[in-house]
Amino acid sequence: MSYFDYIYQRLFGKSSATPTKVFVNELIQRSQSFLDRFQAWKTSEYCEEFLNDVWQSYFWSKKGVDKDPQVILLESTYSNGFAINYESKYDKNNFHYLFDYLADRVKKLDYRLVLSRHTMQEKGDVVESKELHYLKPKLGFVEPIDQKFGNVQIEYIEENDKPTRIKLIANSYPDRKYQDAANFEDLAQYIFSLKNK
C-alpha cells in the first residue's frame, strides 16, 4: 500500500468494490429556520466550548496524542487537512453546524464559495449522505499569484443517518505562477480561534 493510499484510507475510509447507487445530487439550500438556529449556535457558549475541544484535539494530535473528538491529520507537500470524527456527546445538530461554520471562517479569509452540494448514495448496506463546500481564494492577476492556502474542500458525512466525520482539506497549486501556499497551521488556528468569530 502506498503512502497516499494509507492517508486516503485514514481520512476517507476504505473504498468499496460494491457499486454505488446515487439517490440525491443537488445544491445545498439552507432554510431560514436552519440559518436562524445556526446563527444562534455561533454565538452560544456551547459553540465556544466545542471549538476549543476541537482545537485542543487538533493541537494534541500533532503531538501524537488522541483526544475527544478524535482528529486525524493529513500532511503532505501540496495537501494538508484534518478529519474530525463524530462523538455522540457533541450532538448531531451541533456537529452539522460546525460544517457550515468552517466554510464561513474560510470565506472571511478572502475566499469565495464555488460549490455547495449534497449527495446521497447507497454503498452496499450503507446509505452515505455527504455535504460538500468547495472554496477558492479570490486570486489576483499579478504573478506570482497569492494562492493563500490553496483550494479548500470541506465535507460533512453521515452513514445511515448518523454523522461520521467532517473533513477539511487545503490543496495548493505547485505551479510556478503561484506563490507558495501559506502555512496550513495558520489556517487551522484561525478557524478554531475564539476571537473575531
Task: Answer whether residue 140 shows pLDDT above 90.
Answer: no
Q: For residue 90, what is the DSSP state?
A: G
pTM for the model? 0.87
pLDDT by residue (tens digit) across 186-196?
999 999 886 65
83: which strand partners? 72, 167
Sign of CA dihedral 18, 155, 152, 184: negative
Read off the pLDDT of each residue in 87-114 and give the average, rounded to a whole number: 95
